[in-house]
Amino acid sequence: MRINKDMKMAEVIHLNHHLLPVLNRFDIHLGFGERSVETVCRDHALNIDFFLEIVNTFHDPSYFPVRHLQSFKASMLIDYLQKTHAYYLDFKIPEIRQNIRQITQEGSLQNSHKKLLEDFFDSYQHELTTHINKEEQRVYPYVISLENTLDNPASTVKELQEIGRYSILEYEEDHDDVEAKLFDLKNIIIKYLPTSKNNKLLNVILHDIFELERDLNNHGHIEDLILVPIVENMEKALRARLNKLSANV
């Protein structure tokens, strides 16, 4: 069942509570009362089409309306993607790390297993942080400048040439699959950690890793299949504008 604008926002959460962090990324918080999706979006000045597409791709991984999603502004996607990054780095990863610390401090696991779990997670955290920092510091600022430069009819040839020095192709080529390693982490817990008195907490950790993996999967698809093609089109428009301007000189 797809989420539509006439549903009550409360019904959306009853239908799929995994959407809660997604709603937070749109600055929508609990306490919807009887308000519909459309009313809540209007109250938050959100683009309802964009909201519905993002929520539905998350709700149903087989639903991914590439064409429609590519019709939105890159800056709109980036705002959502940045909030997703913040959710991973400021909330989800520290929460999982904290639970792992609790398990390793309680002492029922062998030292070698504690070390395996902690080292693996720390190296994953480092890998994810590096991946996100690169996007936040290099790729997203480029996309925003490209959009602004193109949106400004008064942009000069120099400004257009300057922005054209980078290409999204660079990102496309080395944008790795950051959730792959989580599969190995899940297997360490599922296959190799002996049942301990912390079994319930290990289940919580495992559950959180499954959720993170699903979230990262959706995030990566938005970057690869939606953001990159939008930027490629903007780069085409940039080249066309530069050619036109140089022909007029």
Is the CB of residue 44 less than 8 Å from the CB of residue 27?
yes
| 3-class DSSP state of 67 | helix
| Nearer to Fe ion among residue 53 and residue 135 (C-beta) | 135
User: Considering the complex, what minimum distance in angstroms separates the CB of residue 164 from Fe ion?
Assistant: 23
Q: Which stretch binds Fe ion (CB under 5 A): 133-141, 182-190, 197-205, 209-217?
A: 133-141
User: Considering the complex, what minimum distance in angstroms separates the CB of residue 81 from Fe ion?
Assistant: 5
| 3-class DSSP state of 8 | strand
Binding mask of the shown chain, residues 173 to 202, with x at each position contacting Fe ion by CB under 5 A: ------------------------------
| Nearer to Fe ion among residue 4 and residue 133 (C-beta) | 133
Residues 11-50 that bind Fe ion (CB under 5 A): none
Binding mask of the shown chain, residues 134 to 153, with x at each position contacting Fe ion by CB under 5 A: -x------------------
User: Considering the complex, what minimum distance in angstroms separates the CB of residue 135 from Fe ion?
Assistant: 5
Residues 247, 226: Cα–Cα separation, whole Å: 32
Angle at CA of residue 92, ends 169 and 110, nearest 5°: 110
| Nearer to Fe ion among residue 135 and residue 235 (C-beta) | 135
User: Considering the complex, what minimum distance in angstroms separates the CB of residue 8 from Fe ion?
Assistant: 31
Among the listed residues 32, 25, 26, 28, the one whose alpha carbon sits nearest the alpha carbon of residue 10: 32
Residues 164, 148: Cα–Cα separation, whole Å: 13
Residues 208-237 that bind Fe ion (CB under 5 A): 223
Q: Which residues are CB-neighbours of 241 under 8 A, at least 6 positions away?
A: 150, 160
Q: Which residues are CB-neighbours of 218 under 8 A, at least 6 positions away?
A: 57, 58, 61
Is the CB of residue 121 less than 8 Å from the CB of residue 100?
yes
| Nearer to Fe ion among residue 135 and residue 215 (C-beta) | 135
**Token representation of residue 210:** 């499954």
| Nearer to Fe ion among residue 36 and residue 218 (C-beta) | 218
User: Considering the complex, what minimum distance in angstroms separates the CB of residue 218 from Fe ion?
Assistant: 11
| Nearer to Fe ion among residue 4 and residue 167 (C-beta) | 167
User: Considering the complex, what minimum distance in angstroms separates the CB of residue 128 from Fe ion?
Assistant: 9
**Token representation of residue 122:** 């720390």
Residues 131, 126: Cα–Cα separation, whole Å: 9
Q: Which stretch binds Fe ion (CB under 5 A): 8-16, 54-62, 66-74, 128-136?
A: 128-136
Judged by the rule CB under 5 A, the positions of this chain that interact with Fe ion are 135, 223
